[in-house]
Amino acid sequence: MESTGIFWRPVYNVLEASCTITLGNAAHIKNIKGKKTDVKDAEWIAQLHRCDLIRGSFIPPQEIRQLRDLTRYRKKLKGYESAERNRILKTLEDANIKISTFISDVFGVSGRLMLDALIHGETIEPAHIADLAKGSMRSKIPDLIKALNGRVTKHHRSMIKRSLAHLNHLEQSIADLENDMIPYFEPYQEQLANLDTIPGVALKTAQVIVAEIGVDMSIFPTEAHLSSWAGLSPGNNESAGKKKVHTS
């Protein structure tokens, strides 16, 4: 089969337990000379496979594929979360409010309290700010008063309210997902602990590494093959000071 999108997965799921399946890279097959049309495509791939001309793609075991689904879904949710936060900041700027200048985390405890005050149409007074600002934020009360008294309309409050509700839902979904992921990663605690010792690699990054490459390194002949498969060793084709890029 060719590894086109996810169309190979249903067939693989059915035959995985009873057959040795070769998942061919479409780009590699295309580079092999021969007739290749939509009608004769399957026949042509079968002939190439009989001649041992197709290299099988890396397919991790089912347990690792499940980890991939979880970590990739978390990445999607985190992307939606960031987009929603940026949408709220954009709406605030449209209302002449830029509290991000004075608050490093607009969605922290103090920032959330201030956003709630804005969407409920409360008048921002010095005493009110003193109640909302927590910790180090209290030293910035004069600046926060100026930053929060913008041109907030009913439309702005409605937009921020919707975005905050969606953001809260996304944050809860991410928390629930990460809680569900715990038993899936339980068998790989040793590998996660080893990866966590790498500078710059924390637990979540370690989980992604395990989910993407698995724990069986015997499938990669050398560490160079692994880094190449992961896209961490790009080719460097340079001649006479000019870099050449292959598009094939």
**Residue 141 counted as domain residue:** yes
179 compared with 221, residue with greater pLDDT: 179
Query: Do 88 and 171 meet the contact criterion of CB atoms below 8 Å apart?
Result: no
pLDDT class of 215 with cuts at 50, 70, 90: very high
Q: Is the pTM of this model over 0.85?
A: no
Query: Based on the domain organization, do 48 and 85 belong to the same domain?
Result: no
Task: Identify which of 159, 149, 147 has the alpha carbon closest to the alpha carbon of residue 98.
Answer: 147
**Residue 197 counted as domain residue:** no
In sequence order, which ranges of 95-188 are alpha helices (DSSP H)? 109-119, 126-132, 141-148, 154-185
Would you say residue 167 has pLDDT above 60? Answer: yes
What percentage of residues in the chain have a pLDDT greater than 70? 84
- Structure confidence by residue, pLDDT tens digits, 181-206: 999 999 999 999 999 999 999 999 99
**Residue 235 counted as domain residue:** no
Query: Based on the domain organization, do 169 and 74 belong to the same domain?
Result: yes
For residue 235, the model assigns a pLDDT of 66
- Least confident interval from 4-8, 58-62, 96-100, 164-168: 4-8
Query: Based on the domain organization, do 178 and 140 belong to the same domain?
Result: yes
Give Cα 214 distance to the centre of its chain.
18
> How many distinct structural domains can be found in the chain?
2
pLDDT class of 224 with cuts at 50, 70, 90: confident
Neighbour tally for 132: CB within 10 Å:
22
Query: Based on the domain organization, do 55 and 93 belong to the same domain?
Result: no
Query: Based on the domain organization, do 50 and 92 belong to the same domain?
Result: no
Residue whose structure tokens are 């910790």:
135
Query: Based on the domain organization, do 145 and 82 belong to the same domain?
Result: yes
Query: Based on the domain organization, do 110 and 138 belong to the same domain?
Result: yes
Average pLDDT of 38-60?
Answer: 79
Query: Based on the domain organization, do 87 and 158 belong to the same domain?
Result: yes
Would you say residue 236 has pLDDT above 70? Answer: no
Query: Based on the domain organization, do 52 and 85 belong to the same domain?
Result: no
What percentage of residues in the chain have a pLDDT greater than 90? 36
In sequence order, which ranges of 16-61 are alpha helices (DSSP H)? 26-30, 41-50
For residue 129, the model assigns a pLDDT of 65
Query: Based on the domain organization, do 68 and 180 belong to the same domain?
Result: yes
Of 17-31, 200-214, 224-238, highest mean pLDDT: 200-214
Antiparallel, parallel or unpaired: β 242-243 and 238-239: antiparallel
Task: State the chain's mean pLDDT as an integer.
Answer: 83
**Residue 231 counted as domain residue:** no
Query: Based on the domain organization, do 82 and 45 belong to the same domain?
Result: no
Query: Based on the domain organization, do 66 and 163 belong to the same domain?
Result: yes
**Residue 213 counted as domain residue:** no
**Residue 232 counted as domain residue:** no
Identify the domain containing residue 116 by its residue range. Answer: 62-184
**Residue 205 counted as domain residue:** no
Angle made by CA atoms 141, 142, 147, in degrees to the nearest 5: 90
- Structure confidence by residue, pLDDT tens digits, 55-87: 777 888 889 999 999 999 999 999 999 999 999
**Residue 129 counted as domain residue:** yes
